[in-house]
Structure 1
Amino acid sequence: MQLTILHVSQPVDGGVARVVADLVRGQRAQGHRVLVACPPGGRLGPQALAAGAELLEWPARRSPGPSVPAETARLRRLVRQAGPDLVHLHSAKAGLAGRLAVRGRRPTVFQPHAWSFAAATGGLAEVSARWERYATRWATSVLCVSEQERGDGEAAGVLADYTVVPNGVDLAHYAPAERRAARLSLGLDLSVPLAVCVGRLCRQKGQDLLLSAWPAVARRVPTAQLALVGGGPDAAALAAQARALPEPYRVRLTGDVTDPRPWLAAADLVVLPSRWEGMALAPLEAMAMGRPVLLADVPGAREQLPPQDREPGLIPPEDPAALTNALAAALADPLDCARRGAAARAWVAERHDIRTVIGRVSELYQKSISFGQPTPRVPARI
């Protein structure tokens, strides 16, 4: 059955944008009509168009605030005009405005990409959890990318029809590449141990923790180098933090890059000390290219690693000593990094192929549509 699918997303960059673009590409290949409503700017719009989607301009800020009523009204009009068979809402802001706009009148899949209350603290975290408990009545299904993300939702009292579909990557696009050639193309030393962090420069991804740990790492592995790949709201603060490091510990900030694959290929180790996630996409891309990863043990991280790599590849969140020790140990042993990387590629190829993800999401859509209208109400715990 051919469907008209409307994806609604804010943000328009980073892993969420790549997930949406991959879904669009796969769903267009299946013969569906696919529309994407998102704010202008960022990478999602051009990528969605290139993948065959119809693009709907939906101006929306990333954070909630006074703009929400106008954003909701605009989205309601777009839904009415598009007439989709199903609406797929990506991340907290689209989940907020989208559920208010649709209110269960059409089959609705909400994908948190990490819960809003995980990113908040204090009273704001409780307000966010209360909203999620209430708004779940307007989602036919909640799509989580890890079992831990689903467990965190259930623990917060979000009663929903959950489906878990781990993130996936295009294995042909993120294929193993020769490290020497990648380093030559980037002007990097061919022999030094290199750690690379790919991600939006923001508090969530923990690059500030990485920079704080780096001098101790470099004292133990004196030739080691670090590259932060990406752009974001914390770019200036992180650049200042990097400049303040003593001269021998210089760190390279690349800024936003169109294609992170050369940096992943050049790395001995890819590190992401996130404070929270659903299941980060960059580590899967790194492993698909045959590179080992070092991750904070936040939702999704443990599930995306091969079992034998969970001890060297996971550290407690916001633990500078553990981050230092694990980074230094990995960078001091490039042969072990290469061994771990080969095992990581095999694991991702078996469990995180984007084609499998697209198939499972299609099954979820069919199930959601079969529930009929209106969306069954779930008792809210507030």
Structure 2
Amino acid sequence: MSTGIESTDGRGVYRGTARLPDGTAARVQAVRRTVDQLAPDVVHAHSSWAGLYTRVRRLPVPVVYQPHCYYFERPNLVGPVRRSVRLLERALAANGSVVAAVSPREELLARSMGVRDVVRIPNAPSSAAVREAGARSGTPAGSHRTVTMVGRVVAQKDPRFFAETARVAQQLGLGLSFRWLGDGDQTLVRELRDAGVEVTGWLTADDVMRQMAASDVYLHCASYEGFPISVLDAARVGLPTIVREIPAFEGARLTAVGSPAEAAVAAHAAVVDPGRRLRMIESGDRLVGEMDESALHDGVVTAYAMATGGALVS
């Protein structure tokens, strides 16, 4: 959930931040006051909640809305709730915002709700995700190879899928160890640890990259996504990457699995089969080549130019 407002000058340098108050109505009012005070050329709203705060009441400046995964994509929503949320998104879209989609799936969803102005702004790997040449191309040595996941331990990331993958791998004697980089819901953290998964707690960005680079396989187990940066980070550091069969990854050409059993088998293959491992790494390399800093920059420039009628083009 969005909890703050950040402002930048024309060069993209931060001018300041403001914490949002509690309550939806108060947050909508706070956004409007801040916009009136700053008089920006464009407002960039990250996440579904930010999209609500900036579009439920039309602002005097254009809005670039970047949902980072539409809320109605949650698989556990019952039908009436899903339809209601989608209708709300459609109603908010009528306020004339530009939608910035992080994936082909999000672009398709935006257009299905009648949004005309849609720009692809792909995520890019973290600046800390730097691959050492050839560091991860060979078959890992050692008896216990590490499968890693990065993210908050919350229902959306589906830690139970990861925990069950660890259990299956242990039952099959695959010689894999499992590590979750992050923290969150303590009930879910306990379930991970009960399954033999190491949960590191919150780490600095550099520590996340070091732990990821020291792993052997990356498994992204979220049940729904926009397009996670951690997948791009894993690919950039040279890890064979496995993802869930969810719409966010359509067209990404990564190894996709539908069950914990499939995930365990795929992770094992990534560490014992050099040819399979190399193909998975090459798939990640192609993905990073398509979703990099240059593509992100071009997408942002295009979105702002579209929102402002060409007033912001640098």
Question: What interval of TM-score do these two structures reach, taking the shorter chain for normalisation?
Answer: 0.7 to 0.9
Match of 1:326 in 2: 266
Alignment length (residue pairs): 303
Structure 1 residue corresponding to 2:194, chosen from 227, 235, 244? 244
Which residue does 1:163 correspond to in 2? 119
Unmatched runs of 5 consecutive residues or more in structure 1 = 1-8, 35-51, 62-66, 182-188, 373-382
The answer for the alignment partner of 1:380 in structure 2 is none
TM-score w.r.t. the length of structure 1 is: 0.71
Map 1:194-233 to 2 at 5 A. Answer: 194-232=146-184
More helix by share: 1
Instruction: Map residues 223-372 of structure 1 onto 2, 5 A cutoff.
Output: 223-232=175-184, 234=185, 236-245=186-195, 250-259=196-205, 260-305=208-253, 310=254, 313-316=255-258, 319-333=259-273, 335-336=274-275, 338-340=277-279, 342-344=281-283, 346-370=285-309
Distance 1:141 1:154, change over 3 A: same
Question: What does residue 55 of structure 1 align with?
Answer: 16
Q: Alpha carbons of 1:304 and 1:167: their partners in 2 closer, same or farther (altered >3 Å)?
A: farther
Q: State the alpha-carbon separation in 1 of the partners of residues 135 and 297 from structure 2.
A: 34
- Alpha carbons 1:208, 1:238 under 8 Å: kept: yes
Alignment of 1:19-34 (within 5 A): 32-34=10-12
- Greater CA drift, 355-364 or 278-287: 355-364
- C-alpha offsets along residues 305-344 of structure 1, whole Å, 9 cap, x if unaligned? 4xxxx4xx1123xx333333323333443x3465246414
Tell me by how many angstroms 1:168 deviates.
Answer: 1.5
Structure 2 unaligned residues grouped into runs of 5+: none
Please tell me whether residue 113 in structure 1 is matched to residue 65 in structure 2.
no
User: Where do residues 143-182 of structure 1 align in structure 2 (5 Å cutoff)?
Assistant: 143-155=100-112, 157-170=113-126, 173-177=128-132
The change in CA–CA distance for 1:137 and 1:84 in structure 2 (over 3 A counts) is same
RMSD over aligned Cα atoms: 2.9
Q: After TM superposition, what 4+ stretches of structure 1 lie above 4 angstroms from structure 2? A: 178-181
Equivalents in 2 of 1:219, 1:330: separation in Å? 18
Length-normalised TM-score, structure 2: 0.86
Percent of residue pairs bearing the same amino acid type: 22
Q: 1:277 to 1:162 in 2, by over 3 A?
A: same
Residue 193 of structure 2 contacts residue 199 of structure 2 at CA under 8 Å; is this kept in 1? no
Distance 1:153 1:282, change over 3 A: same
- Tell me if structure 1 keeps the 8 A contact 2:119–2:302: no
What letter corresponds to residue 293 of structure 1 in structure 2? Answer: T
C-alpha distance in structure 2 between counterparts of 1:349 and 1:147, whole Å: 15
